[in-house]
Amino acid sequence: MASTQAHLHTELSGADLVSAARAALTGRGEQWTTMRAAVFEELARHDRPISAYDIADNLSAARGKRVAPNSIYRILDLFVANTLAMRVESSNAYLANCHPGSDHDCIFLVCDECGEATHIDDEAVSRSVRDLANRRQFHTERPVLEIRGLCRHCV
């Protein structure tokens, strides 16, 4: 992703979020398989980052047969590459993108106490980080900023 693109700041949820994710993925020439749908729906049910192992465990329990974490990781990598999900690097966990298909940088406020990760959009910060990298002849692919601390509930 060479530059950020403006996007709507209306956060989707429920069936609207799943429908938008499907449209974004198929619009990029990828298939929306039953397993991909199940992984996205599981991811979207959570308001905090969830690991691939937790997704695999939850889907295994729901389906009554084992779902391999490696399969989940492949799907999550596809979702991140197509902006359907965001990865919280420091915890190796994922969040559904509430505006799937919109290119933007990942800026998170991560609570060290409860694990909440709040995604924020700030075009000025994104532009500043990208400009800083460009001045050093560094080509940015996917900037991720994580600010660690305590959320308002844990202070």
Tell me the domain boundaries of the chain: 14-96, 106-149
Check if the beta carbon of residue 103 is closer than 8 Å to that of residue 83: yes
What is the model's pLDDT at position 1? 37
Q: Write the CATH number of the domain with boundaries 14-96.
A: 1.10.10.10
Give, for all 155 residues of the chain, the pLDDT tens digit: 333 344 455 677 788 899 999 999 999 999 999 999 999 999 999 988 999 999 999 999 999 999 999 999 999 999 999 989 999 998 899 999 888 877 677 788 999 999 888 888 888 888 898 899 999 999 987 788 899 999 999 99
Report the alpha-carbon distance of residue 36 to residue 147 in Å, rounded: 30
Q: Which of 101, 145, 122 is closest to 1 using CA atoms?
A: 101
What is the model's pLDDT at position 9? 54
Report the alpha-carbon distance of residue 28 to residue 16 in Å, rounded: 18
Check if the beta carbon of residue 80 is closer than 8 Å to that of residue 98: no
Please give the class, per CATH, of domain 106-149: alpha beta
What is the model's pLDDT at position 10? 65
Report the alpha-carbon distance of residue 46 to residue 34 in Å, rounded: 19
Q: Is the pTM of this model over 0.95?
A: no
